[in-house]
A and B are shown apart, each in its own frame.
Chain A
């Protein structure tokens, strides 16, 4: 029995993945869909109840390449150390101008600080003022460089209380010609009982 217990411990330790740090608590709406989200190749946009937008993409090498690309666009140099930290980080929601000081903090402080930020700035243009567009665009390009084109999925994790207008704006941004994505994954929580 003890052997078995250890076997199980080892199994769960090896298979379990810790959830990436999430800056906000998002209460996703329930649905009866049972499709599971794959755990790889996901670009995740989190929208909290106040309408703040957080961005995340998986795969460390994509993240680092994306940060370099964003550095080029916004003329910000990131050190190797900062890139490393960024590569391991979860979702973030802050203007790129604040990113350097944010990366210098250690994990616990980062979580505290991220509550004060207003999310990634976005508007309806495709210029540098629309930082969210640039993140999405850079992340998408880098993912296509490193991995097969078209495997990336776009997930939207919105709080049930979030204003739909905000989500509509994000969807419209994705549908622009520069990105041209029309298929989304809306993350929901499973509703167990039949209504």
Chain B
């Protein structure tokens, strides 16, 4: 395939050859080169674009130097991620008088997400309202609308009566499950959440309820 079109004619005399050389066609068969170019193109297209990782940013609470720095938050859900496929949770303060203070939910859409959504419905409703309002406002361009929406949503999620979620884990919990829970926070519009160490009392109740061994 790939050869120069030199034309035939070895049998011709010297004079003729000189003339021929001038008239030689300069067309080269480029098919293989183009094939190669496309091959490379495909290779680079496929390898390059997918390699950028996505990330979720978390800020860990700074460990308080003195232990008295406990602020009373009323509207709060505490989640405990355990080894199994369920998550234990309770609303408000741990009810030590009860024999079974922990509720159990699955990680699925109808499980813990529903619980969080119900507890956070006021904020979700407000956020949906401002979303509607901002979308209807055609005086701004899309970029500006998006910025405004994000800002107002963040403000709403940070409000005093918005839901706070505390995520606790047992020692054998899977990292992937913890990430799932953090991800869930953004799905259900919870702006105030923190990863906190589990307390002895909670561990004892989990054991009592046979959620952990």
Contact = CB atoms under 8 A, between A and B. Distances in A.
- Do A and B form a real pair? yes
Contacts of A143: none
A162 B47 CA distance: 27
A183 B175 contact: no
Interface residues of B, number: 40
Given A39-B52, A162-B174, A163-B173, A5 B60 contact: no
Contacts of B109: 195
Interface string B157-192: 000000000000101111111111011001100000
A182 B61 CA distance: 7
Contact of B183 (A2, A32, A39): A32
Nearest to A1: B34
B59 interface: yes
Contacts of A128: none
Interface string B51-76: 11111111111110000000000000
B51 A2 contact: no
Interface residues of A, number: 49
Given A175-B62, A188-B56, A189-B54, A31 B172 contact: no
B57 A184 contact: yes
Contacts of B177: 164
Nearest to B180: A29
B11 to A, nearest CB: 37
A29 B37 contact: no
B54 A2 contact: no
B206 to A, nearest CB: 15
Contact of A175 (B38, B40, B63, B81): B63
A12 B179 contact: no
A47 interface: yes
B180 A190 contact: no
30 contacts: A5-B34, A5-B41, A8-B45, A9-B37, A13-B40, A13-B44, A16-B48, A29-B175, A31-B54, A31-B56, A31-B179, A31-B180, A31-B183, A35-B56, A35-B57, A158-B175, A159-B176, A161-B174, A163-B172, A163-B173, A164-B81, A164-B173, A164-B177, A165-B172, A183-B60, A186-B56, A186-B58, A189-B53, A189-B54, A191-B183
